[in-house]
Amino acid sequence: MSRSLKTCTLLSVGLILLSPIAPSRAVDHNNLDEGFPLSFDDAESLAYGEQALELSTILSIPENRTFGAALELEYMYGFALNSHLRVGVEPRIGGRADSTSTAFEVDNISVGVFHNFNREYDNVPAFALRGDVAVATGVDSEGVDLRLRGIASKMIGQYDRLHLNLDLNLTTATESGDRSFLPQIILGYSRPLGYPERFDQTFLAELGIKPTKDIGGGAVIVTGIGLRQQVAYQGVFDVGIQGHIVTSGEEKSELRLIAGYSIGF
């Protein structure tokens, strides 16, 4: 082998070994995003250069209040290896658990960044970090909400996977008697259904806890189950049901029915 050929071969091998390995993630039923349909994320990022639109409709039935409806719309873009940008908006109308208002309003406009640090390997979970800034745009609303979410995803057994989400929420403008700092912990679970004969459905479940908004209140326990169904090469339909159980305080317990669709391009 000539000296030049050896040099080219060594250079090629070196570039392969040194190049970053990005999680390749298309929009499919086994990739999990907050709100589609439950409250937790998995630790996988959108693939570099990929874009996705996610639309979710929510019917909320708060305790002793009229029912309400919301529309959650998100755009995602894989702007770098292992990282993606999120832009979201959520108009809603009718009753809600955390407010007596029933007027139509665009609740929040949010921008977030998601970064995956590593794939899962051996006994090491996949880790990711997500940060969001939400500008209050509702009726009589002001201030900015900040959230930092740590995410760990780990296989247990052959097909089951756990997703631990730890949230730190900070509100810059609060009413008298409300908390400005709200931590939350969510344990999510996912499992593909019918595998290995088929691979087009994923079952989800979650259990979470957070304090109520009012300082004198207790806790909000979040439970939910859902299903994501692949309906096209990069199209996923999802359905879910959530229960928010308030132990005490001014907030109301709430039942939520969710249906959504995600498409990648």
Query: Looking at the whole model, is its pTM more than 0.85?
Result: yes
Superfamily name with CATH number, domain 23-264: monomeric porin ompg (2.40.160.40)
Cis peptide before 211 (omega within 30 of 0): no
- 2 pLDDT higher than 60: no
- Whole-number Cα distances in Å, 224 to 23, 65, 102, 248: 27, 21, 25, 20
Average pLDDT for residues 126-145, to the nearest whole number? 88
Q: What is the chain's length?
A: 265
Cα separation, 76 vs 37, whole angstroms = 16
Average pLDDT for residues 187-191, to the nearest whole number? 98
The tokens describing 186, both together, are: 């969510």
φ, ψ for residue 18 (rounded to 5)? -90, -15
Cα separation, 251 vs 99, whole angstroms = 8
At residue 26 the predicted structure's pLDDT band, cuts being 50, 70 and 90, is low
pLDDT digits (tens, 9 = 90+) for 28-60: 788 999 999 999 999 999 999 999 999 999 999
- 1 pLDDT higher than 60: no
Q: Could you tell me the residue ranges of all domains in the chain? A: 23-264
Cα separation, 240 vs 108, whole angstroms = 22
pLDDT digits (tens, 9 = 90+) for 207-235: 999 999 888 888 999 999 999 999 998 99
Nearest to 129 by CA among 107, 113, 108: 113
